[in-house]
Amino acid sequence: MGVGQSSFFYKFEVLTNEELDFLKSLTGTLSEATREIAYTILAAYVIHALTNDAINSGKIEMNPNLEHELKKIEAGSFENIQSQIELMGDKLLDCSSIKDVEELAEEDEYEFLLFMMVQYTRTKAMKDRFVASLSERKHLQSLAEKSWPFYNIVLALQIVESMVMKKDYRFVFINNKGSIPFITGDQPIINARGNIKDEQGFAKELEFYYPLSPLSALVIDFTPGDKFSEIDVSDDYVKDKNELIKNEAELHLFANDEAVLKGLFV
């Protein structure tokens, strides 16, 4: 459907030494596997800050060629991670049954989950919610705004770490047997139970829903059952999930039938 693995949106902001020290200390609290990836991203911010200091102090003189090379170095940290994750995304979008999903999970379940969770956390809507949750800690709110690419990946990694530790999730492959196609949007993965919230406004229950094509979707559920299963659904299920995708979308919706999109706004 064309939006299953959109490129990361990142923009480097210059961080102060105090802000970099805070991110370094935060990274140090992460698990070993998560820490390695977080340090790779953090390195890009350090390079950016050091370069900015050198330019401002007159130690180096910026020119178009140098600026181009610096941007390549900075972006490389994200592009290397992105390429690795998107490779898993390509494989997932090719899945046509729960057997395919099971084989993919057996290949590298951690990376499989990381792709899913990055798609969940990478969007502007998720950024806005996360930043808003820090409203009583203004210094952290400002830092999250400036370093969202870092927080985006760290949030995804933390979700995956929790899932792998608890081992309470299962995969459900959804076959659309109705006449209405699945749609997707610029929030490609949603929490289908996100309307059930705690006192702080965060979701109390999770069910990650990811439409793969007009005829199939993948759900990561946290209710008891077989780790890998497959179900057929009818139009009622599709309508419900399409409505959720519409409500979570920031700007864009996608479908293989324009009439289906128009029907959501009648």
Single-letter amino acid, residue 108: D
Determine which of 6-10, 72-76, 145-149, 252-256 has the lowest per-residue pLDDT on average.
6-10
Domain boundaries, the chain: 8-166, 168-266
Instruction: Kindly tell me if the per-residue pLDDT of 9 is higher than 50.
Output: no
Q: What is the pTM of this model?
A: 0.82
Task: Let me know: does 216 contact 182? Beta carbons within 8 Å.
Answer: yes
Instruction: Kindly tell me if the per-residue pLDDT of 5 is higher than 60.
Output: no
Determine which of 24-28, 57-61, 228-232 has the lowest per-residue pLDDT on average.
57-61
Q: Which residues of 197-216 are buried (b: 16+ CB within 10 A; e: fewer)?
A: eeeeeeeeebbbbbbbbbbb
CA angle, 67 then 70 then 76, to 5°: 140
pLDDT tens digit string along 186-236? 999 999 998 777 766 667 789 999 999 999 999 999 999 999 999 999 999
User: Which pLDDT band, with edges at 50, 70 and 90, does 104 fall under?
Assistant: very high
